[in-house]
A and B are shown apart, each in its own frame.
Chain A
Amino acid sequence: MSELEQKKTDLRSVSQTWFSKKLNVAGIYGIVALFILLGIFLQLLGVINNFMTTSNMLNIVDAVSMLGIVALGLAFVTYSGHFADLSIPTTMALTGIVAVQMLQFGFFAAIVSAFIVGTIIGLINAFAIGKLKVNPVIWTLALNYMTLGVIRVIWANKQIYPDMIASSERAVELFDNIYRLRFFNKIAFPMIMLIVLFFLFHFVMSKSKFGIQLKITGAAKKSAEYSGINVERVIGAAFVISALTATLGGLTITSLSRVGAWYNGAGYDFKAVTAIVIGGMTLAGGRGSIIGVLGGVLVIGLMNNLMTLLGVGTFSQDMIRGIIFIIVVGINAKTLRTMGRDDA
């Protein structure tokens, strides 16, 4: 080739060391470790009791497993560059209510119909946001309220109880067990679901054809389109995944509360987004990992646990979570801007 082809110093390169890269990945688990140390410290000081016990550790994971399930699915939406799926709360409520209502035809019918409803909501989002390119935040917010309306119209303000509707005792028991089934008397079924979804989704996001195409779409939608990626389908799939995990979350929360009601799932949208953002997934898309999101979920679990052990009230907890969200998003945006990234 030509003699012009000479090496020269790349003046724009930002030096990135092996250590700084690892720190990025390990970051969220560093925070996890920090919270655990804080708990141990507080326990040694005698401020709280029972932090460092196996049962409390299991409690922490148990308490966040529902949130984890929802957050892992929502992460696909965030990764695709579409911020968040705000229709999650009523998707959870509606699928739960539908399942309870369908218990009159047995447990199996209840689960299947819940998933059918969840899939339909996911497909509606997929069509509107993938195909029609509607703003995802506004659209899912609107759909959330519309679904709420549907629930209020069909079930009025009634709350429905599995044991009053189900065809058999057996169906009620099975439904109750979605949340209550325990392996070895300790490990709850939602925790198993979380672990299975974690491995599955980690594989899908980082190793599958879909995951790679989702990353390119999230990082640069137009370039993805120009690379022959069917971005409409890829984005749509992300919203369907989010709706399906919301369905799982809805079934679990309804099983826990033993009541199908419109308020099941309220607040899960924001909590899940918080976990995702704390877990290092940027809202602009294309950056982050399922491992990070799980870390974010664990941080929230530890935080809640510590606050509860310290006797902090529920409303104060909400406030603290909000403040942390704002700080994390703020720092994230500032860092990216300082580094000259385009996604700040």
Chain B
Amino acid sequence: MSERDVDKPAFEMRQVSKVYPGTIAVDKVDFDVFPGEVHALIGENGAGKTTLMSIISGSFDDYTGDIFINGNKVSLRSPAQAKKNGIEMIYQDLSLALPISVAENVLVGRLPRKGIFIDKEKMVSETFDNLSKVGLEHIDPMIPIEDISQHEAQLVEIAKAMGNNPSILVMDEPTSALSQEEVERLFDIIDSLRKMGLAIVYISHHLPEIFKIADRVTVLRDGHRIDTKKINDVTQEELVQMMVGKSVTEFYRHDIFSGEKVRLKVEKLTRYGFFHDVSFHACEGEILGIGGLSGAGRSELARVLVALDKRDKGRIVLDGKEIKSRNMAQALDEGFAYLSENRKTEGLATRLSIRDNILSALVPRLSKNGVYDKEKGDPVLMKLIEELSIYPPDPNREVSNLSGGNQQKVLMAKWIAVEPKVLILDEPTRGVDIGAKVIIHNAIEALAKEGRTIILISSDLPELVSLSHRVMIMRQGHFIKEMQKAECTEESVLLAANGEGV
């Protein structure tokens, strides 16, 4: 540490601000990162993280303040300037082209040539060198991106960035789509990059991750830098307090569930290749968690339950009546609802208003003889905006203008509005800030108290463990274990999901 203190920071910004029309998104922020250091940047959605990152990546030509790289003042007013100064970005949404090969993705823009042709041999060997830096030696550089897993794609993204020999690497929520064990592997890679002397800016919502990987942490709130701390000098509670501006007394509740009226019974449900002979039941008012790694077949199970996909065999019984929906509209009428995991592509129509989104699954019910009654949806709309404190509380606001947390609340409101008997939630709080998370958790518990059955699919272990009354563990398409509330801890669920301790 003492040695580093004499070094110059690899990257430093002083009093940097960025003004959007009407608002100051980033207000006189100081931020620096040293070579061989992981500096975490945290804050709620809308705190200014994304704006700050965009400044680093050269996306704005109208920021104010000074930026220094290795002590030299530089101007980062275009992405090309940022790249020239050794800055590489790794975005939350991958920027890889799915149908083309790993090699072409990694070396895009600098493919080796022999005359006018691509030098394939050199392309393969260069890609291999880059991939080996991130522990992906086993991947064939010639297979297309769509054939490798999400986690491997994330590492390819890093390999691609590494190919430009950066000295500063900025990562935005790199773990949001990864399972726990994949996160561990990513952290090993980040650690080795740190040892190679890279300066890494790590943006995340996920506090436990920060404590595992970061050396220092800076908290942003409402565009201001609240504080920068060494990670060993701060606790999780203190960070949360800095992020939200108030102390969080009670984060998760622990209710004991005592209902026993069976609402949903699933017998030997199978979709070949995805999940097999899945049987379970869920009671009225119960929150049934489904844990497992990504790719275990949890979302596929949900899609079959709401008839988005066809089942190959098995029975679904709701309140004693066998359900044979042929499409999602019928499943909705029967009382099923499904909050899908990808809010931007499957959940919301971001181009439309809050009103249109919240009421989108209710259109048939608000219509009579083919005529849509716009006013009829207003009471439930206003009630949900109020209850979930969707901000801004203007039903005509376009959803793309909302922060990620508020978008997720809109999605939640959409499915509360249909008043389902069984609500399946697939990663209901992925990538949202703590404020929104608490509101959504409260809403889930309120729904259960009303007697609705909740099926909670989540990779967020604290969420899964604290909200669920009972957890089923799914692995490779099978239900392998059922855990009661008492035996559920983050560790035991994680072990079971990895196929251990069964």
Contacts and interface: CB of A to CB of B under 8 A. Distances in A.
A1 interface: yes
A207 interface: yes
B441 to A, nearest CB: 9
Contacts of A2: 438-439, 442
A227 interface: yes
B363 A342 contact: no
A154 interface: no
Nearest to B330: A228
Interface stretch (A108-116, A189-197, A213-221): A213-221
A215 B372 CA distance: 13
B351 A230 contact: no
Contacts of B248: 4
B363 A229 contact: yes
A212 B349 CA distance: 12
B245 A14 contact: no
B330 to A, nearest CB: 8
B348 interface: yes
Contact of B367 (A209, A219, A222, A340): A209
Contacts of A14: 21, 401
Interface in B417-461: 434-435, 438-439, 442
Interface size class of B (residues with CB under 8 A): 35 or more
B308 A225 contact: yes
A341 interface: yes
B345 A223 contact: yes
A211 interface: yes
A209 B376 CA distance: 13
Interface in A166-221: 207-213, 215-216, 219-220
B25 interface: yes
Given A4-B246, A9-B222, A224-B360, A15 B21 contact: yes
Contacts of A230: 327, 329
A323 interface: no
Contact of A9 (B23, B308, B347, B360): B23
B391 A7 contact: yes
A168 B160 CA distance: 77
Given A14-B21, A224-B360, A226-B340, A6 B403 contact: no
Nearest to A209: B367
A224 B352 CA distance: 12
Contacts of A210: 370
A341 B351 CA distance: 7
A228 B337 CA distance: 9
A267 B93 CA distance: 42
A15 B22 contact: yes
A212 to B, nearest CB: 5
A212 B372 contact: yes
A3 B347 contact: no
Interface of A: 1-15, 207-213, 215-216, 219-220, 222-230, 286-287, 340-343
B224 to A, nearest CB: 11
Contacts, number: 144
B163 interface: no
A216 B329 contact: no
Contact of B329 (A15, A229, A342): A229
A222 B351 CA distance: 13
A148 B48 CA distance: 58
Given A13-B401, A208-B370, A215-B352, A4 B438 contact: yes
Contact of A223 (B347, B364, B401): B347
Contact of A287 (B22, B25, B351, B439): B351
23 contacts: A4-B435, A5-B438, A7-B391, A8-B46, A8-B222, A10-B402, A12-B20, A12-B25, A13-B401, A15-B21, A207-B371, A209-B371, A212-B367, A212-B372, A216-B352, A216-B360, A219-B356, A220-B350, A220-B351, A220-B352, A223-B348, A229-B360, A287-B351
Contacts of A341: 351, 400
A341 B400 CA distance: 8
Interface string B332-373: 100000101000011111111000100011011001001110
Contact of A209 (B348, B364, B401, B403): B364
A220 B399 CA distance: 12
B328 A226 contact: yes
Given A11-B223, A228-B328, A208 B371 contact: yes
Among A2, A222, A341, A342, which residue has the most Cβ atoms of chain B within 10 A?
Answer: A2
Contacts of B23: 9, 11, 13
Contact of B244 (A4, A7, A9, A227): A4
Contact of B308 (A220, A226, A340, A343): A226
Given A10-B46, A216-B352, A230-B329, A223 B435 contact: no
A11 B48 CA distance: 8
Interface string B382-417: 000000010110000100111100100000001000
Given A1-B439, A286-B351, 18 more contacts: A4-B244, A4-B246, A6-B246, A8-B46, A8-B222, A10-B402, A11-B25, A12-B25, A13-B392, A209-B370, A216-B360, A223-B349, A224-B349, A226-B347, A228-B329, A228-B361, A229-B360, A287-B351
B331 interface: yes
Interface of B: 20-25, 46, 48, 51, 222-223, 244-246, 248-249, 308, 327-329, 331-332, 338, 340, 345-352, 356, 360-361, 363-364, 367, 370-372, 374, 389, 391-392, 397, 400-403, 406, 414, 434-435, 438-439, 442
A213 B363 contact: yes
A171 B460 CA distance: 74
A14 to B, nearest CB: 6
Among the interface residues A5, A207, A211, A213, which one has the most CB atoms of the partner chain B within 10 A? A5
Contacts of B392: 10, 13
Nearest to A336: B351
Contacts of B391: 7-8, 10
A12 B246 contact: no
B372 A286 contact: no
A286 B364 contact: no
B351 A227 contact: no
B424 to A, nearest CB: 12
A215 B356 contact: yes
In the complex, the 9 A-B pairs of residues with the closest C-beta atoms, listed nearest first: A220-B349, A209-B367, A219-B349, A228-B332, A228-B328, A227-B361, A228-B329, A219-B351, A227-B360
A332 to B, nearest CB: 14
Contacts of A208: 367, 370-372
Contacts of B400: 340-342
Contacts of B340: 226
Contacts of B20: 11-12
Contacts of A216: 349, 352, 356, 360, 363
B34 to A, nearest CB: 29
B345 A222 contact: yes
Nearest to B435: A4
Contacts of B403: 10, 12
Nearest to A282: B351
A6 B435 contact: yes
Contacts of A226: 308, 328, 338, 340, 346-347
A11 B222 CA distance: 8
Nearest to A8: B222
A333 to B, nearest CB: 14
Interface centre among A207, A219, A287 (most CB of B within 10 A): A219
A38 to B, nearest CB: 33
